[in-house]
Amino acid sequence: MTLRKLRDAVVLMVAFIAVIWILQVFNWAAGYRLDSEFGVLPHHVSRLPEIFTAPFLHFSWQHIEGNTVPLFVLGVLAAYRSLTKFLLATLIIAVTSGLAVWLFQSGNELTVGASGLIFGYFGYVVVRGFFDRNLFDIGVGVVAGALYWTILQVAIPGTPGISWIGHLGGLLGGVVAAWVLRDRATAVGAGAGRWTTGFGERPLLTGKHAAVPRSATPGRAAPGPASADGHPGSNAAADLLRELDEKGI
C-alpha cells in the first residue's frame, strides 16, 4: 500500500458518494420517481438491468444518510489496494446482490439503495487478506469486522422493511470477489505459501519456500572468495585454503 493509492481510493469514493447525493436531490425533487423507474422489481424480466442502477438510488434522506458513512469507510478499505480490482469487485457485488433480490424477493417489493454494496465491501475487506496471504489486509479486515459486525444483523431473515436478501447477496458477492480477484502469485504456482506484510517488500517465505542463497542455486557454482582487487577467486584456490586450514597451516 502507498499513500498515493490511499489518496486515489479516497478521491474515488468521494466522487461516488457525490454522485449518489446529486441523484438523491433529483430523485427527491421528482417525488422519488427515479426509484420506481430504476429500482429492482423481483421476477420482472424487463427490470433485470436495474440491478446496476438501484445501488445509486435511495428511498429517503434518512436512507442515504444511514448508508453514506459505512459506504465511504468500507469502500476506501476495499479500494486502497487496487482501483481496478475494486471496480471489478463492485461489479460482482452489484450483480450478486441485485440478482438475489430479483430472484428471491417475494411479491412486487421495490428495492433500491447502496446497502448491497456496503455488505459486499464488508465481506470483501474481511476475507481478502486470507486469500491474498497479506498480513496487513488481514489486520484491516479484523478492524473492519470489529467496527461493522453489527450490520450483519440486517442480513437476518425477517427484519421488517429491510431487503435482507439483497444484503446477504452482497455479502456473498464480496467473498466471491475476494476469491476471484485474489493475488495469483501467492495463491498458486511457484509463489504458493508466501505471505507479505503489504508494504511492497519481498514475500515472507517459510518451510520449503524459504529463500535459497544465490550461491546454492542448482546448476550454479558457488563463487570463490574475493581477491584483493574485488574479483571472485577460483574454486581451486578455495579448496587449497580449506585444505591448509584443516591441516592447521
Tell me the pLDDT tens digit for each residue of 23-73: 999 999 999 999 999 999 999 999 999 999 999 999 999 999 999 999 999
CA triple 197-200-205, angle to 5 deg: 55
Calculate the dihedral angle through the C-alpha atoms of 188, 89, 174, 145, rounding to the nearest 10 degrees: 90
- Is 65:139 a contact under the CB 8 Å cutoff? no
DSSP characters over 25-79: HHHHHTTSHHHHHHSB-TT-GGGGGGGGTGGG--SSHHHHHHHHHHHHHHHHHHH
Q: What is the pLDDT of residue 106?
A: 82
pTM of the shown model: 0.75
- Which of 119, 123, 124, 102 is closest to 111 using CA atoms? 102
- The domains of the chain, with CATH numbers, are 3-191 (1.20.1540.10)
DSSP designation for 134:
B
Summarize pLDDT for 132-191 with one digit per residue, the tens. 989 999 999 999 988 888 777 665 665 566 778 899 999 999 999 999 999 876 555 445
What's the CA gap between 143 and 141, in Å, rounded? 5
- DSSP letters spanning 137-197: HHHHHHHHHHHHGGGGGGGSTT-TTS-HHHHHHHHHHHHHHHHHTS-HHHHSGGGTT-BB-
226 SS3 class: strand
